[in-house]
Amino acid sequence: MLDVTRRYVRKAEQALERTRCPEEVMLYIMNEIRNLRRSNMPKDQRFQLEKEDAREDKELRGYVISSITQQVVSGIRPGEQQSMTSRPRQHNEDHKAPIEQPAGRQSGAQEWVNARGENGRGGYNPPRDPSQRGH
């Protein structure tokens, strides 16, 4: 069992969005079904099917790579040799500056880090009842 959307849809933006479940769930379920169906097969037959799966996956990945390459190439004008990073930025109403992101999470005091097992040494210590402090 294999999702062959990549075989028939060359541009990802033209593919219909999955509406019944997320992509990851669908792929997981398909893999489980494939494994169940093959579980009682002879080893050499399973090996042959896995080789065919790999060949098919390589072919389908090639379609995705080709599509991405085509999009990149079509965005370059003839005679233009500028890299994407050296192009001047266009400022218009549709272009918005990125929002500054807050700093990442900071760990607290060393005692707190150790108590929560966040010091890389493992061993989670569950929270203690504050009324039992010092006991």
Q: What does the pLDDT look like over 82-95, one tens digit per residue? A: 555 555 555 555 55
Tell me the pTM: 0.44
Range of lowest pLDDT (86-90, 117-121, 126-130): 86-90
Query: Confidence class of residue 105 from pLDDT cuts 50, 70 and 90?
Result: low
Q: Which of 29-43, 59-73, 101-115 tops mean pLDDT?
A: 29-43
The per-residue pLDDT for range 36-57, each reduced to its tens digit, is 999 999 999 999 999 999 998 8
Chain Cα centroid distance, residue 83? 26
